[in-house]
Amino acid sequence: MSLVFAGACSHGPGITGRAEQADVSLRNELYANFDRLRRAIEQSNPDALVVIGAEHFANFFMDNMPAICMGMADSYTGPIEDEQWLGIDSAQIPGNEALSEQLIKSIMQDIDLAYAQEWKFDHGIMVPLHFLTPRYDLPVIPVNINCQGPPLIPLHRCYEFGRALRRACDERPERIAIIGTGGISHWPATPDSGQINEQWDRQFLDHFVNNRREQLVAYTDEQTYQDAGQGGFEIRTFVAIAGATEGSTGEIWFYAPIPIFAVGCTIATMSVE
């Protein structure tokens, strides 16, 4: 049928792993919006959920680092982290190898991408799934955009990837939902963890929900590193969602800096009209 839903959310491991240390009302509001996102995905009645993430050296390392990689398996496992540390139990997550293959073949008409038949999800995918498909009953197709080990794919290519993904989805009879998951400004796992540039985040999110391609792809890694930390490189996942919803706009359902979660926690949707 086509793309039936598009959204974006945060994935910081603290969201589940350090839940009890956060401001209770902010945390509850974030969780409520994750739940609202879950319901919206369910209402779109998808056959599969593509999660565009920015994993963190769980599967991909600098010996062979793909710019973009898509999973092509019938099942995945996660989390790779200690269950207690992350606050998420180990699980097997269903995939859809045949659908992955069709999407990959189609996307390759426009964008070179790698595929992986084995994938251990880290918090970058497990935290969103914990809230969005808590029973792990919806086939997931993971995508990783390298946001960790430079050189990184340029933002305009992430946008193009999103466009190619959209075209590939629209060619399929299946109903496909997509979620982008990344941090905006943040300095994860460093001495500056907890620092958040709210003004930068709000500016970026404004460009995102208004799908201003020119502004979205104009961010340079150097400036992002200065203003938004190395975690800011994960805006690539948002930019891919903007590409997949080109011509449409969206809505921020929730944004709040939550320092113990090390990120400006965000829940957003984009129209797929």
Find the binding residues for other proteins in span 117-136 (CB under 8 A): 120
Selection from other proteins, Fe ion, none that 83 binds (CB < 5 to 8 A by kind) is none
Selection from Fe ion, other proteins, none that 38 binds (CB < 5 to 8 A by kind) is none
Instruction: Provide the minimum distance between the beta carbon of 234 and other proteins in the complex, in angstroms, as a whole number.
Output: 11
Helix/strand number for the chain, H first, E second:
10, 10
Rounded CA gap, 209 and 125, in Å?
A: 22
* Side chain identity at residue 260, one-letter code: I
Interacting residue with other proteins among 117, 150, 198, 202 (CB under 8 A): 150
50 phi/psi in degrees, rounded to 5:
-90, 125
Q: Judge contact between 51 and 239, C-beta under 8 A.
A: no
**Contact string (CB under 8 A) for other proteins, positions 4-43, x = contact:** ----------x--xx-------------------------
Q: Judge contact between 242 and 180, C-beta under 8 A.
A: no
Nearer to Fe ion by Cβ, of 187 and 253: the residue is: 187
- Can you say whether the dihedral through the CA atoms of 20, 88, 252, 258 is positive or negative? positive
Find the binding residues for other proteins in span 41-80 (CB under 8 A): 56-59, 61-63, 80
Instruction: Provide the minimum distance between the beta carbon of 13 and other proteins in the complex, in angstroms, as a whole number.
Output: 8
Selection from Fe ion, other proteins, none that 1 binds (CB < 5 to 8 A by kind) is none
- Can you say whether the dihedral through the CA atoms of 153, 262, 250, 177 is positive or negative? positive
Q: Judge contact between 49 and 41, C-beta under 8 A.
A: yes
81 binds other proteins (CB under 8 A): yes
Interacting residue with other proteins among 20, 137, 222, 273 (CB under 8 A): 222
Rounded CA gap, 51 and 69, in Å?
A: 12
Nearer to other proteins by Cβ, of 22 and 168: the residue is: 22
Nearer to other proteins by Cβ, of 142 and 162: the residue is: 142
Find the binding residues for other proteins in span 95-114 (CB under 8 A): none
Q: How many CA atoms lie within 13 Å of 239's alpha carbon, on the beta-carbon side?
A: 26
Interface with Fe ion (CB under 5 A): 54
